Amino acid sequence: MINGVIIRKIEKYEDNRGWLAEIFRRDELHFDMAMAYASLTKPGVIRGPHEHTEQSDCFVFLGPGSFRLYLWDRRNASSTRGETLEIEAGADNPSLVIVPPGVVHGYKCVSALPALVINFPDKLYKGEGKREEIDEIRWETREDSPYRIK
């Protein structure tokens, strides 16, 4: 595990109509959401790796499709500095994953179907009115990056 990363299995309640899943309850998980977005990733496509200096991400992987999520802890003050974690999340393992600032993260669609992720970050993208710098360190654009997704 990586200190500060929260991984919660999401239960799907299925019946003849389909399924329902509770994603978030404020009485069970304390997280200050600032916005929400959804992203569909095609099979074999990689997003990231990158990290945030201030923002935490709250990813929800429900399906369709599945991802391999990669996490690297590079925080100086963390008791798990240098640790890595890989999990598969999505249709077969519905999960909520909170990634704190300083944890490098990225994912790859590993299913034959496109995969959907919803994110509820705790900061606004580019700040109020989209007037601030983007809070990202983009490791995927660096040739010398030690963070690789296969």
CATH class of segment(s) 6-141: mainly beta
Give pLDDT tens digits along the chain (150 positions): 999 999 999 999 999 999 999 999 999 998 999 999 999 999 999 999 999 999 999 999 999 999 999 999 999 999 999 999 999 999 999 999 999 999 999 999 999 999 999 999 999 999 999 999 999 999 999 999 999 998
In 3D, which of 116, 111, 20, 13 has the Cα closest to residue 62?
116
Q: What pTM was estimated for this model as a whole?
A: 0.94
Between the CA atoms of 20, 39, 118 and 43, what dihedral angle is there, to the nearest 10 degrees? 60
Render 31-51 in DSSP notation, one character per residue: ------EEEEE-TT-EEEEEE
Residue 99 token pair: 């990634």
Ramachandran class of 77: left when φ > 0, alpha when ψ lies in -120 to 50, beta otherwise: alpha
